Structure 1
Amino acid sequence: MKNTNVLAWTLLILLALIWGSSFILIKRGLSVFNAGEVGALRILAACLFLIPISIPKVGKLSFKHLKLLFIIGLVGSFIPAFLFAIGQTQLPSGVTGVLNALTPIFVLIMGVLFFKQEITKRKTFGLITAFVGTVVLLAAGSVGGLRGINFYALFIVLATICYGINLNVIKYYLADLKPLVITSVSLLFMGPLAGIYLLTFTDFSVTLATEEGALEAFGYISLLGVMGTAIALILFNKLVQITNPLFTSTVTYLIPIVALVWGFWDGEDLGLGQVIGMLAIFVGVYITNKKKAISK
């Protein structure tokens, strides 16, 4: 039991550090490459890293599983990778990390709307609180938005909606597959799409060969794909296996802290409105996730 607890806390801290650092890595990649290139390179790196795991699994899966895994890859990895990169072209990395904490909220909302989950008054209050926080965060510290609203934050919100759909589909339609299979095969399907996008719609190779700092930025993005997508999901799946939902959900609160620390270190400033909005999101997510079942 003691060894399990040590492993659980180690995995939790590693996940918070890895996922919390993803936003600063996106920022570094965007210093040279455009948002589409960053998103595609992230997916391609994760796909290539997991090929030794994914290739042997494909032939053992049914057509139904393969079809769902393609959808999971699209909604849970491919589209969010692009949305986060686009949003972060006009958002501080710390704020992006806080908005990512909305994921459990949209897991619940998508479950209620499409998967017949029940919602309590407490969870409703948590949803409203998080929504208010999001609105405040949207309006605070705008950079190029209309009427004081930074609409680039909506790209991050849309990405968390994608995560909400993704996790519900996995829970209700792919419960018979191991998480590692889901992750590796879904990314295997997305890798070629990312490669086609890079070769067809971007000048990635020219940028890599000619732009100053391109190799360094490419390294940051590759690290993002391998660590922030592939390895992080493997660690997360292991954490789910050895702990309970309540413990696992605490990573939701730790990721924004790491992201904000990186942001401060990189010279990002936060205004009072942004702080208020972020606190409201934290409170809303906490209330929504409170009193979850803690048994394995």
Structure 2
Amino acid sequence: MKGIPKKWIYLIVLSIVWGSSFILIKKSLVGLTPLQLGSLRVLFAAIFLLIAGYSKLKTIQKKDWKWIIISALLGTFIPVFLFAFAETEIDSAIASILNSTTPIMALIAGALVFSIGFTRNQFVGVIVGLFGSLLLIWSGSNLNPDQNYWYAGLVLIASICYAFNVNIIKRHLQNIPALTIAVGNFVVLIIPAILVLIFSDFFSEALITDRSIHISIGYLTILALVGTGVAKVMFNKLVQLSTPVFSTSVTYLIPIVALLWGVLDGEKFTIIQLGAGGIILLGVLLSNKS
């Protein structure tokens, strides 16, 4: 890959890793509840990152911990549960496409909170992207009437969380190494994740010799270590190497990977939904134009 800018390498690898995360969430939910999945995902990733970079914690200055905590909540803790609950009612491919609204959300968050102005193209892009999201939700509800497409809103809320997180990393954590940010994030989340896990009755259920739980934990381990732990470090680095809008552009490619996994797993997908996904991506592309 000599000659390819690092930011593009990170973008491509992340799109493959995160594009595969949606099907791993779906498979993990076979034997685990959303609360169990979210908390275990955080804990497994935390253990991995502490092993890899525990010594980095002492380099975090006191003034930076506030932003580390906020980044942990918005960039990891809240979204992992939102996606887990969402995929109990909507297909993994649909969730991945709705997640592609993140750059649009980043643009809105930048304008409303971080004083970054709109251009005409960006405003049009936001409107087009949001229209595509509504069309996707509507078409999905017609195709799969048994699915509750109100849960699609959970994915959009997660996208908003991601949008704020990238702006926070770029503005307040730019000079902290990516691994250090990730380790700090997950140290903060260990206690909340344990509390959620206890509340979910996981420890009593885990004693049951249910093969589905064991298989689900296998999928979850891959999701936590690669899709959360490694990917979190890579994404932090991508944000630092580029801009919030470029870094969230990874969501352009994620649906392609997720859609392939979804089709292989037997998920239904129509031309209308494909068109809605295309409209969302068009909106994202327009919102990236100056």
Per-residue deviation, residues 166-208 of structure 1 (Å, max 9, x unmatched): 1112222222322221122111111221112112x11212333
* Match of residue 39 from structure 1: 38
**Structure 1 residues 80 and 250: alpha-carbon distance in aligned structure 2, compared to 1, 3 A threshold:** closer
Aligned-pair distance for 1:263?
A: 0.3
1:140 counterpart SS class: helix
* Match of residue 128 from structure 1: 127
TM-score, scaled to structure 1: 0.88
5 Å matches for 1:1-296?
3-5=2-4, 10-142=9-141, 150-199=149-198, 201-210=199-208, 211-239=210-238, 250-290=249-289
Per-residue deviation, residues 197-239 of structure 1 (Å, max 9, x unmatched): 112x112123333223211100111111110011112333455
Aligned 8 A contact 2:53 2:180 in 1: yes
Per-residue deviation, residues 72-94 of structure 1 (Å, max 9, x unmatched): 10111000000000001011111
Aligned 8 A contact 1:140 1:150 in 2: no
Aligned 8 A contact 1:141 1:273 in 2: no
1:176 counterpart SS class: coil
Aligned length: 287
Tell me the amino acid that sits aligned with residue 26 of structure 2: K
2:207 counterpart SS class: helix
Structure 2: how far apart are the matches of 1:7 and 1:108?
A: 23
Per-residue deviation, residues 120-174 of structure 1 (Å, max 9, x unmatched): 00000000000101111122222568xx971010000000000111111222222
Aligned 8 A contact 1:129 1:281 in 2: yes
TM-score, scaled to structure 2: 0.90
1:78 counterpart SS class: helix
**Structure 1 residues 134 and 247: alpha-carbon distance in aligned structure 2, compared to 1, 3 A threshold:** closer
Aligned 8 A contact 1:140 1:149 in 2: no
Aligned 8 A contact 1:48 1:191 in 2: no
Aligned 8 A contact 2:136 2:276 in 1: yes
Per-residue deviation, residues 30-89 of structure 1 (Å, max 9, x unmatched): 111111111111111111110034432333323321122111101110000000000010
Unpaired runs of 5+ in structure 1? 292-296
Tell me the amino acid that sits aligned with residue 185 of structure 2: S
Root mean square deviation, CA, Å: 2.4
